[in-house]
Amino acid sequence: MKIDAHHMDYLLLNQAVRRQTDSEVEIDHCLGQRFIGTGLANKTLVINGVPGNALGAYLDGGRIIVRGNAQDATGDTMNDGEIIIHGSSGDATGYSMRGGLILVKGNAGYRAGIHMKSYGEKSPVLVVGGAAGSFLGEYQAGGLILVLGIGCEDRAPYGYFCGTGMHGGRIVVRSDHIPENLPDQVAASDLTPGELEQIMPHIHRYCETFGIDPQSLLPHRFYVLTPNAKNPYQRLYAMN
C-alpha cells in the first residue's frame, strides 16, 4: 500500500500509516513530517523522500527503510525493530535507544548514540558506515555503536569529545587513528579476535543491506572505546 504524503501534515500522515492493515506501507513524497512510525510494532515502512525529526521514535518492532537521508533524533528511545537509512542521518541518531538496530549507510551527525542503554536481553546496536560527528556516544550507558569509517580512513571517523560522560556499552571503530584527546574516562584498546567475531554479523548485515563487498572493509584495524574503570568520574562537567 502506498501513501502520497505530498502536502500532508504529520498528524494525518501518521494516522494514515496506523490505519493501514497491510504489513508493508510505502510513503512517497515525504518532506519533513515528524514522528513517522512512532511506536510502530509490526509493519515494514518504506519512505521515499526526507522524513522529519524523531523518525521511528519508540519503535517497538518491524522495519523502517529510508531511501534517502534522515533528519535529527532518528530512533529516539526505540525499543525494538530496525531502521535502515540508505543515506546519512542527522544529529542525535539513536538518541536514548534501548533496543533494536539502526543502520546508516553514510554519515551520522553530532551526538550519535547519545544516552544509549541496555538491560537484560535488550541491547541496541547503531551502525554508522561513514563518519560520526562530535560527542559520539555521549553519556552512553549500554549497547553497541559501530563506526566503519568508510571514506575517511585517513583520520578518526568522529569529531571531538567522543564518549563524554560514557559509563557503559561499547563504541567499536574501524580505523587506524585514535585521537589523543579522548576524555580521560574513556579507554581505547584494539579489538581482540574474539570480540571481532562477535561484531562480524553486524558488519555482514551492513554490507548485505547496502550492497558493499565485505572484502573492501576487511581485514582492518578495529578498536573499542569503553568506560575507563581505572579513572571514574569525579567531576561531571569539564572545565569549560
Quote the least distance from Cβ 116 to another protein, whole Å: 19
> Does 159 contact another protein by CB under 8 A?
yes
> Does 180 contact another protein by CB under 8 A?
yes
CB 10 within 8 A of CB 34: yes
Closest C-alpha among 162, 93, 81 to residue 127:
93
> Does 216 contact another protein by CB under 8 A?
no
CB 149 within 8 A of CB 124: no
Phi/psi at 66 (nearest 5 deg)? Answer: -110, 120
> Does 31 contact another protein by CB under 8 A?
yes
> Does 135 contact another protein by CB under 8 A?
yes
Give the separation between CA 89 and CA 94, rounded to whole angstroms. Answer: 10
Closest C-alpha among 111, 200, 100, 107 to residue 157:
107
Q: Which of 8, 72, 83, 113 binds another protein (CB under 8 A)?
A: 72
Q: Which of 38, 71, 93, 118 binds another protein (CB under 8 A)?
A: 71
Quote the least distance from Cβ 220 to another protein, whole Å: 25
Give the separation between CA 182 and CA 188, rounded to whole angstroms. Answer: 9
- The burial class, CB within 10 Å (0-12 / 13-18 / 19+), for 238 is exposed
User: What does the angle CA 221 – CA 227 – CA 233 come to, to the nearest 5 degrees?
Assistant: 150
> Does 121 contact another protein by CB under 8 A?
no
Cell of 184: 580521560
Quote the least distance from Cβ 30 to another protein, whole Å: 8
Q: Which of 20, 123, 134, 209 binds another protein (CB under 8 A)?
A: 134
> Does 91 contact another protein by CB under 8 A?
yes
Give the separation between CA 160 and CA 44, rounded to whole angstroms. Answer: 36
> Does 10 contact another protein by CB under 8 A?
yes
Quote the least distance from Cβ 2 to another protein, whole Å: 19
Q: Which of 17, 38, 49, 172 binds another protein (CB under 8 A)?
A: 49
Q: Which residues bind another protein (CB under 8 A)?
A: 10, 31-32, 34, 49-50, 52-53, 69, 71-72, 88, 90-91, 109-110, 133-135, 159-160, 180-181, 238, 240
